[in-house]
Amino acid sequence: MPMTDDPTQTYAELHTAPEPPLLAQLTRETHLQTLLPRMSSGHLQGRFLSLLSHLLRPRRVLEIGTFCGYATLCLAEGLAEDGILHTIEIDPEREARIRRYVAAAGRTAQIRLYIGAALDVLPGLVDEVWDLVFIDADKRNNAAYFDAVIDHVRPGGLLIVDNVLWSGKVLPAHAVKPGDKDTPLVRAFNEKVARDARVEPVFLPLRDGLLLLRRK
């Protein structure tokens, strides 16, 4: 289930607010200079994340998994005037690009970047109360990230988890191949949060699947 060359997605993008020029530049650079450009949120999903952020007007946002910083900038668009976005990226080789685009967007004072493993960084952020959390890192640790942050999300706050369709591999008809350790864990996470009484889930088949979880 590819996320590109999909006529439905192309049609949706044509009827969605245009991609801001700086993000279009970042998209091009990501495709030219990274091995896995599909990891970037991209135009349609990025505008959706921006919309959600504008609706919430969050003061505190947490992003787990920065990659190139595309979703970071989209989420920052709706920050409250005194809002801060904390974003965690494990790969130090991505730091320079992220900081360059954050500066180009004029958001250096609003975005705080941490380089390291999220489960090592998160204990230092326990005093924060999150209005919005975006989880888009290694899928094997989705459950661990959720457990680490859920009690720090305010009632009415929103958690968003990316890639919950996992290229369609989570569907019951898909036979898990030997050696595939990720698919069972993504499936198990989806089932876990569907049963969690602390959240109200809405599963959107947007791109590779977005799971929206409203904190009760």
The domain spanning residue 25 has which CATH number? 3.40.50.150
What residues make up the domain containing 206? 7-215
pLDDT of residue 58: 98
Kindly give the confidence (pLDDT) of every residue in the chain, 216 residues in length, as a single tens digit, with 9 standing for 90 and above. 445 567 888 899 999 999 999 999 999 999 999 888 888 999 999 999 999 999 999 999 999 999 999 999 999 999 999 999 999 999 999 999 999 999 999 999 999 999 999 999 999 999 999 999 999 999 999 999 999 999 999 999 999 999 999 999 999 999 999 999 999 999 999 999 999 999 999 999 999 999 999 999
Under a CB-based contact definition with an 8 Å cutoff, are residues 147 and 192 in contact? no
Question: Does 169 reside within a domain?
Answer: yes
- pLDDT at position 5 is 65
Is 130 part of any domain?
A: yes
What pLDDT is stored for residue 90 in this prediction? 98
Q: Output the pTM of the full model.
A: 0.95
Give residue 11's identity as a one-letter amino acid code.
Y
What span, in angstroms and rounded, lies between the C-alpha atoms of 125 and 111?
14
Task: Please tell me the total count of domains within the chain.
Answer: 1
Cβ pair 185, 139 in contact under 8 A: yes
Domain presence at residue 193: yes
The CA–CA distances, whole Å, from 47 to 42, 66, 190 equal 8, 16, 24
In a domain, 125, yes or no: yes
Nearest by Cα to 20 from 68, 65, 56, 74: 74
Residue 2 resides in a domain: no
Residue 1 covered by a domain:
no
The angle formed by the CA atoms of residues 51, 204 and 179, to the nearest 5 degrees, is 125
Report pLDDT for 1.
42
- Helices 95-104, 21-33: inter-axial angle, 10-degree rounding: 160
Q: According to the model, what pLDDT value does residue 51 have?
A: 98
The predicted pLDDT at position 2 comes to 46
- Asked whether residue 203 is assigned to any structural domain, the reply reads yes
